[in-house]
Amino acid sequence: MPVTTARVIADLPFVAAQAHDDRVAWRHRQDGQWHDLTFTEVAEWVMELASGLVHRGLAPGERVCVLSDTRAEWSAVELAVLAAGGVVVPIYPSSAAEECAWIIGDSGAVLVVAETDAQRDKVESIRSRVPALRDVVVIEGGGLDELRSLGRTSPVPGELDDRRAAIDPDDPTVIIYTSGTTGPPKGCVLTNRNWLTMCRLSEELSYVLPDDVAYLFLPLAHVFAQIVHLGALYTGHTVAFYGGDSSKVVAELAEVRPTFLPSVPRIFEKIYTAATAGVPEEQLRQAVRVGLAVRRLRAAGQPVPPDLAAAFEQVEPVFARVRAIFGGRLRQALSGAAPISVEVLEFFTAAGVPVLEGYGMSESTGVGTVNTLARHKLGSVGTFGMAGLQLKIADDGEILMQGPHVFAGYWNNPAATAEVLTDGWLHTGDLGEIDDDGFVTITGRKKDIIITAGGKNIAPANVENQLRQSRWISHAVVYGDLKPYLVVLITLDHDEIVPWAKDRGLPTDLPTLSRTPEVRALIQDVVDEANSHFAHVSQIKRFTILDRDLSQDDGELTPTLKVKRKVVHSTHADRYAQLYT
């Protein structure tokens, strides 16, 4: 049975088992070793868990929250809930009890599957506020094994077949709560049609191939990771789940040797910083120019001139070390969720590690525009039009999307839905441009636009992204609404600035170090360089350095580490005010 016969997402693990059989579906780390599960074994696991859920009283349409880090069990639970006719509601493992209370309560979840006892205790602390919740199952506490055992000894395949047959393509499957940079998170309702559109898009573009191995460390509470794990069932490639320790991601890349890597910019920026440390700027630029020229000629099937080939041989050892960091087999990487600089993209392309950008949001099932190896433009987020994905720019510069990937609306929030869906078009809130070749560039967020005292409209993200290219800066938050000039609050990257300080005999604790003249001079150079890329009105005139990093615990970052701009502006209002005195 071909996987294309899947009518709804709940069918995927079972049609995938028939289509891909004993191919490796999942690779996961346990007791220090990597273990493989075939597509057939995954389907059996899902069937047993789904039967267990039916016995535990899960009814069609009921919501189940998953509060866990990325792991194979997460994916198995999700597929089992869907197979039993339920709806999955992810929660970031880093979410505070208050955030858990909101998501569990707003979704009306009847069951929470928690990774650890600590996560269970978080739920229990707010249980009196979520009356619909009936039970909490702990993955590492043996609760999931008990659920599976129940389903194995008393399977209900007929009941599960009936439940899947009753699912409509436009029924909810996953409710992903937005990060909530303003106000409480809203639940994005994603349907079977949404997810199958995403799967077919990947197939149409040959984006991920059946023989690929994708390394997944992104949180499965994010739509980006959901695309990877659900799409793998459709395509038939392997997903290797990271071992749970983010400090070992680079080491695991060398072990897994993936051919496809979905990631966020910070990983590529960290590797770029490490690989280029100590390399003179002009020498680095020349190496990248040579590498890009050779790659382009080879891609076009054209010969490489002898002098260019000789220059490439001089820099190839450096590029080979970069490829080795990723395991030596990486065919392509996909960067999403935040912008990444063209300089970083060019470096990896020159090194033979193509990093492509895409654009999407939870409300568009994570897709909207894509770059491919066959057709891409560095610095853009790609093109549109495939698989029914439509996009246009409104008169005010806002990006609008339409198509089968657009969500059904916000859960229990028709007013918020009406604000973003108009005549079938999704108002993304992002500002962008489309060039003559059909490539889209993101220029900022509509709600973040700063209007200076002089009446100039400025997108702060452009300046902030330029500043964050520095190895010394973790976050940069620009301010200047109704002010005569722009200022910025900067936080230092602890992993980079502390070794630098130690080498110079400076204090290594951030509160003290951030106030030293040496650090201020270092950051001034970064600001000056960033300013050189912008017109006078968009330049930073003054800056302040915070004595700590921004944090989720302090309410300054979302679970996906996006800056809550209004919170930062309010929390550090005094620091900003001092920059105008």
Tens digit of pLDDT for each residue in 311-360? 999 999 989 999 999 999 999 999 987 778 888 899 999 999 999 999 99
Question: What are the strands of the beta sheet with 409-410, ordered from one edge?
Answer: 135-138, 111-114, 63-67, 87-91, 172-177, 187-191, 409-410
Which residues lie closer than 8 Å to 394 by C-beta, 6 or more apart? Answer: 400, 427
> What pLDDT score does 205 carry?
82
Q: 223-235 and 192-205 helices cross at what angle (nearest 10)?
A: 60
> What pLDDT score does 465 carry?
84
> What pLDDT score does 420 carry?
95
> What pLDDT score does 156 carry?
96
pTM: 0.87
What is the spatial distance between Cα 409 and Cα 258, in angstroms, rounded to a whole number?
35
> What pLDDT score does 182 carry?
58
SS3 assignment for 335-378: ECCCCCCHHHHHHHHHCCCCEEEEECCHHHCCCCEECCCCCCCC
Burial of 237 (0-12, 13-18, 19+ CB in 10 A): buried
CA distances from 378 to 87, 207, 345, 347, 435 (A): 38, 17, 7, 11, 13
DSSP 304: P
Which H or E run contains 77? Answer: helix 72-83
> What pLDDT score does 572 carry?
94
Q: What does the pLDDT profile of the chain (581 residues) look like in tens digits?
A: 567 789 999 999 999 999 998 999 999 998 889 999 999 999 999 999 999 999 999 999 999 999 999 999 999 999 999 999 999 999 999 888 999 999 999 999 999 999 999 999 999 999 999 999 999 999 998 999 999 999 999 999 999 999 999 999 999 999 999 865 556 889 999 999 999 999 988 888 888 899 999 999 999 999 999 999 999 999 999 999 999 998 899 899 999 999 999 998 888 888 888 888 778 888 889 999 999 999 999 988 999 999 999 999 999 998 999 999 999 999 999 998 777 888 889 999 999 999 999 999 999 999 999 999 989 999 899 999 887 889 999 999 999 999 999 999 999 999 999 999 999 999 999 999 999 999 999 988 888 888 888 777 788 888 898 898 888 999 999 999 888 999 999 999 998 899 999 999 999 999 999 999 999 999 999 999 999 988 888 899 999 999 999 988 888 988 777 888 889 999 999 999 999 98
Per the CB < 8 A criterion, the answer to whether 390 and 403 are in contact is: yes
> What pLDDT score does 181 carry?
54
DSSP 3-state of 58: coil
For CA atoms 574, 579, 580, 581, the dihedral sign is: positive
On the CB side of 574, CA atoms within 13 Å amount to 2
Over residues 185-239, the pLDDT tens digits come to 899 999 999 999 999 888 888 888 999 999 999 999 999 999 999 999 999 999 9
> What pLDDT score does 1 carry?
56
Number of H helices, E strands in the chain: 21, 25
User: What structural domains does the chain harbor?
Assistant: 3-191 (3.40.50.12780), 372-446 (2.30.38.10), 449-578 (3.30.300.30)
**For strand 486-492 and strand 473-479, is the pairing parallel, antiparallel, or unpaired?**
antiparallel
What is the spatial distance between Cα 522 and Cα 517, in angstroms, rounded to a whole number?
9
**For strand 238-241 and strand 213-216, is the pairing parallel, antiparallel, or unpaired?**
parallel
The residue with tokens 């999955």 is 88
The letter for the amino acid at 540 is I
What is the spatial distance between Cα 369 and Cα 365, in angstroms, rounded to a whole number?
12
> What pLDDT score does 184 carry?
82
Per the CB < 8 A criterion, the answer to whether 368 and 407 are in contact is: no
β-bridge partners, 306: none
> What pLDDT score does 254 carry?
92
What is the spatial distance between Cα 239 and Cα 25, in angstroms, rounded to a whole number?
6
Per the CB < 8 A criterion, the answer to whether 275 and 320 are in contact is: no
Nearest C-alpha neighbor of 147 from the set 258, 9, 264, 50? 50
Nearest C-alpha neighbor of 177 from the set 107, 226, 225, 113? 107
